[in-house]
Amino acid sequence: MEEVIEELRERNEPVPVPLELPDDEQLVEVEEQLFINLPFGLREFLLLVSDVVYGRLEPVTASDPQSHTYLPEVAANAWDAGVPRDLLPICQDGPDYYVVDLEGEVTLFDGESHELTEQTWETVWHWVRDVWLESGA
């Protein structure tokens, strides 16, 4: 995990209005809006690297309710698109969503077929390494 965080920090792209990392209080607010507890890996991701901008993918954030990547907004859209209510999106990719379950496993939800695919990653950090970091390569 530390290596993945270090790599993200090195690749972070400068933007006119940088994102901010949320604090625990903001994550509690997000959980209250979602009526669901954040899986540990997603919570850790949001606290440590959700301010990183890299590549074409834009993972969810939790510090700015006005952002198009704000987790409660992305979750509402994902659930409207057919993502099961017990899964939380970590990133939208066109019509598809990468979603995390309460145990922390990430799965790709196909927005065309409205079904979970066989593509899975053991943790959010595995997804970051294998998908997000590769998206800008």
Q: Quick one: pLDDT at residue 136?
A: 75
Over 80: is that where the pLDDT of 137 sits?
no
The predicted-structure confidence for 65-110, as pLDDT tens digits, reads as follows 999 999 999 999 999 999 999 999 999 999 999 999 999 999 999 9
DSSP-derived letter for residue 63 is S
DSSP-derived letter for residue 47 is H
Strands of the sheet containing 88-93, edge to edge, are: 58-59, 88-93, 96-100, 106-110, 115-121
The rounded distance, in Å, linking the Cα atoms of 59 and 68 is: 10
The rounded distance, in Å, linking the Cα atoms of 52 and 107 is: 22
Question: Domains of the chain, with CATH numbers?
Answer: 2-135 (3.40.1580.10)
DSSP-derived letter for residue 69 is T
Alpha helices in the chain (DSSP H): 2-11, 24-34, 40-49, 71-80, 124-127, 133-135
The predicted-structure confidence for 7-27, as pLDDT tens digits, reads as follows 999 999 999 989 999 999 999
Could you tell me the maximum CA-CA distance found in the chain, to the nearest angstrom?
Answer: 38
The rounded distance, in Å, linking the Cα atoms of 94 and 104 is: 23
